[in-house]
Amino acid sequence: MKTKLAKVFAALSIVGLLASLNPSAFAAQSDDASETSKIHAAAQNATTRSDHEAVAKYYEDAATQIQAKVEEQKQLLEHYEDKSYLYGRRAQDLQSHTTALVRHYEKTVKTHIQEAALHRQMASKLEENHAVSGTQTASAADEL
């Protein structure tokens, strides 16, 4: 009986391991990671006003999406607090986990908004520099 149970357990363990190693399970994580690395590269290589504006727009859109997650998690937290009796011993764990997620998402939103503001500021400085250099070039051409 024990050997049969051990074989079933071993088979289930192997199936679980194979399922966790499935490439499609990592697809969403790798997509997020590659997108994050692309935006960091774009932010590092941004040289023109439109580059900085595109990066700022990305961060603003990401902040909007994450803010929606914040609202969703806050509603879930409210549900856990109001109906804790439905979850028994897990209620406090669910509440603390959801509270931690809300804090994490809010911190991420704040960071993204700061990044967007920084890139908007860089874009406006580039535009000011371009406008100043354009007027200097025009006045130099008038002197000729």
- pLDDT interval class at 84 (50, 70, 90): very high
Q: Please state, in angstroms and rounded to a whole number, the distance separating the CA atoms of residues 109 and 60.
A: 9
- List b or e across 102-141, with b for residues whose CB sees 16 or more CB atoms inside 10 angstroms: beebbebbeebbebbeebbebbeebeeeeeeeeeeeeeee
Global confidence as pTM: 0.66
Q: Please state, in angstroms and rounded to a whole number, the distance separating the CA atoms of residues 95 and 79.
A: 9
The pLDDT, as a whole number, for residue 45 is: 81
Count of other CB atoms within 10 angstroms of residue 69? 16
Q: Tell me the percentage of the chain whose pLDDT exceeds 90.
A: 49
The pLDDT, as a whole number, for residue 109 is: 97
Whether residue 104 is predicted with pLDDT greater than 50 in this model: the reply is: yes
